[in-house]
Structure 1
Amino acid sequence: MNEAANDGDAEKLRKALAAEHAALFAYGLLGARTSGTLRTRISAAFDAHRARRDQLRSFITTRGGKPAEADASYALPFFPSNATLAVKLALHLENGVTAAYLELAAAEEAALRRYAALAMQEAVTRSYAFRPAQPAAFPGMPVAAAAPSAAVPTPTRDGE
């Protein structure tokens, strides 16, 4: 692996870390402004992002870099003044983190690509937990009409 590739991977790690710092800031704000089931989901997301942040800091340190500290605050695209806006912000955060990890998925190092793919999978899964409706099993396929309640005969082989 050449030095330029290492520099590129280090920059990708820094961007993913910056996304995690921003997500932690916003989820901390959301946790203080929500309650019930939504707060439980937000707390779980906060914990997951904190673990990812710590892993990224470790990756940067073991590669000889110095991880950036979080900013004191981050600009939010809007203020989450109710549960609907809190969910909208959580979705925005997960999309941002996914984008940062998508860039890391192009890292030179295979272990970083694998790590990024798993982190993206987790972020997308988390985002669906915040959505009010679940996606269709096969997006784009027409929804089949409800089957009649009569029992369907079991297929058998000829002669049986």
Structure 2
Amino acid sequence: MSEAKDGGLPALQAALAAEHAAVYGYGVVGGRIATGRRAEAQAAYDAHRARRDALEREVRDRGAQPVAASAAYALPFPVPDSAAAIRLAAELEERVAGVYSDLVRAVSGERRGTAALALREAAVRAVRWRGESVAFPGLAERADTSAPTGTDPAPASDSASASASARASATRTP
């Protein structure tokens, strides 16, 4: 369905659902994170709450009922300590980035810019939590996990064109 017909509503609702889950997840992170990273977890929690609230308003502005938060969410793994809380925070951000990547594809104009900003913010937070980045945040299907870190899978003569192609595909509009 095109944005003109549905206003990107399914992708907006998916982003809202992801923000609900992130807010819940950061509640768990905050309960287990070491004191030295607690302010970072609080800032991320606040950012996700703000995005959630903005998405709820946007869905209502489109005349739809915002998807409700679940009472609880299944965590991807147990979170008994600070190290697991850090892994959970990175996982939450990567999942949110993926959903915002879908939203970027589904909307246009100012909404696309807002979604791209949210994608970037989630990707940056994921890097901060994880300590490393991925080539295409939010696009797991494009990440090449077979190549060793720090190597260029393209031949030397093609590296400039491969890099330009990657940048073009990352900024291409649907």
Per-residue CA distance 1:30-62 (angstroms, 9 max, x = gap): 112223122211111100000100111111111
The alignment's TM-score, normalised by the length of structure 2, stands at 0.71
Q: Percent identity?
A: 41
Cα distance in structure 1, aligned partners of 2:15 and 2:125: 17
What is the aligned residue count? 138
* 1:39 counterpart letter in structure 2: R
Partner of 1:85: 84
- The equivalent residue for 2:66 is 67
Structure 2 residues without counterparts, runs of 5 or longer: 135-148, 153-174
TM-score, structure 1 length as denominator? 0.77
Task: Give how far 1:126 is off.
Answer: 1.0
Distance 2:42 2:22 in 1: 12
Report the AA paired with residue 92 of structure 2: L
Kept in 2, the 8 Å contact 1:6–1:108? The answer is no
Q: Following the alignment from structure 1 to structure 2, what is the Cα–Cα distance between the partners of residues 63 and 134?
A: 35
Question: Which has more helix, going by share of residues?
Answer: 2
The structure that has the greater radius of gyration is 1
Q: 1:4 to 1:41 in 2, by over 3 A?
A: closer
Residue 30 of structure 1 corresponds to which residue in structure 2?
Answer: 29
Q: Which runs of 5+ in 1 are unaligned?
A: 143-160
**Partner in structure 2 of residue 153 of structure 1:** none
Equivalent residues in 2 for 1:132-151, closer than 5 Å: 132=131, 140=150
Q: Decide whether the 8 Å contact of 2:7 with 2:62 is kept in 1.
A: no
Q: CA deviation at 1:8?
A: 6.1
Paired with 2:3 and 2:40, the residues of 1 have a C-alpha distance of 40
- Deviation sequence 1:69-114 (CA, Å, 0-9, x none): 2100001111111111111111110010000000000124312211
Matches of 1:121 and 1:77, distance apart in 2:
23
Residue equivalent to 2:17: 18
Match of 2:141 in 1: none
Q: 2: distance between equivalents of 1:114 and 1:36? A: 34
Q: What is the identity, as a one-letter code, of the residue corresponding to 2:30?
A: G
Q: CA deviation at 1:5?
A: 3.7
4+ runs deviating over 2 angstroms: 2-8, 131-135, 139-142
Considering only aligned residues, what root-mean-square deviation do their CA atoms show, in Å? 2.4
